Structure 1
Amino acid sequence: MHVDNQPASLGPESEYVELAVEVFAMLADATRVKIILALRGAGEMSVNSIAEAVDKSPAGVSQHLAKLRLARMVSTRREGTTVFYRLTDEHASELVIAAVNQAEHVVGAPAHHLGGRVGT
């Protein structure tokens, strides 16, 4: 590890740069960002609960969840006929929070510096 706690593989020549671009592309959709934020606060949710939380149709949310699942950003648990979704780990959530924090700076109202919380 470098002194700044970043892996040595995080240089511009890193093999992970292209994969990082794919992660950003996956998160370059408002509905998927809203899904990540909803799951961040809830732990796990059904498709219908997520759809209600992000104000989208269950069918549309299902399609976004399928993409997030293929990208391994969410995982599932089945209980009877209901499938529950949860974040696979905290990294997608941290990326979304960092992006929202950056957006706050762009508009000049960084609530995260004033003790405000994003996504709650």
Structure 2
Amino acid sequence: MKNNNLENENDDVCEVFDSHDEVVARVKESMLLEEEYTDLSEFFKIFGNPTRLKIISLLSLEDLCVCDICESLDLNQTTVSNQLRILRANNIVKYQKEGKMARYSLTDNHIEMIYKVGLEHILE
């Protein structure tokens, strides 16, 4: 993704450094704990894999079994199962057993929203 808004490398540098104490105090008060930023960073890393994003995109449309995901993505079951395991371990997807079949779905609407907002952003 290219950012065409960069005109000059130094545009983001203050020419006169003079921080605004009230503003700095206000935003510092709203900051998360370091551990929370680390957890959030780890969460977003899950979305950094194209295969996992494809699985999330499919599951944002409909609950699917592993076979349907494999067929839709033209991937083998081992690859899909490994990615589903990672998504499940990070509370992105869940599954429900239906006899011998496992049907996967997104854990909640937040995951779908994150995916759709990210997609909307890159398609602007």
Task: Give the structure-2-normalised TM-score.
Answer: 0.69
**CA deviation vs aligned residue, 1:48-104 (integer Å, no higher than 9, x gap):** 101122222221011000000000111111111111111110112211112211211
Q: 2:72, 2:112 → 1: CA distance?
A: 16
Larger-gyration structure (1/2): 2
Against the structure 1 CA distance between its residues 62 and 27, is the aligned structure 2 distance closer, same or farther, given a 3 Å change threshold?
A: same
Q: Please name the residue that 2:42 is paired with.
A: 22
Runs of 4+ in 1 over 6 A off after TM superposition: none
Q: Please name the residue that 1:67 is paired with.
A: 86
Q: Aligned pair 1:40/2:40, yes or no?
A: no
Q: 2:30, 2:69 → 1: CA distance?
A: 34
**CA deviation vs aligned residue, 1:15-71 (integer Å, no higher than 9, x gap):** 4221111111111001101111100101x2100101122222221011000000000
Task: Give the structure-1-normalised TM-score.
Answer: 0.72
CA contact (8 A) 1:39 1:87 kept: yes
Q: Please name the residue that 1:108 is paired with.
A: none
Q: Please name the residue that 1:81 is paired with.
A: 100
Q: Please name the residue that 1:58 is paired with.
A: 77
Q: 1:96, 1:84 → 2: CA distance?
A: 20
Structure 1, unaligned runs of 5 or more: 1-8, 106-120
Query: What is the one-letter code of the residue matched to 1:22?
Result: E
C-alpha RMSD of the superposition: 1.9
Structure 2, unaligned runs of 5 or more: 1-28
Q: Aligned pair 1:49/2:58, yes or no?
A: no
Corresponding residue SS for 1:59 = helix
Q: Point out the structure with the larger helix share.
A: 2
Identity of aligned residues (%): 27
CA contact (8 A) 1:38 1:54 kept: no
Shift of 1:10: 6.4
Q: 1:53, 1:98 → 2: CA distance?
A: 23
- State which of 115, 118, 123 in structure 2 corresponds to 1:96: 115
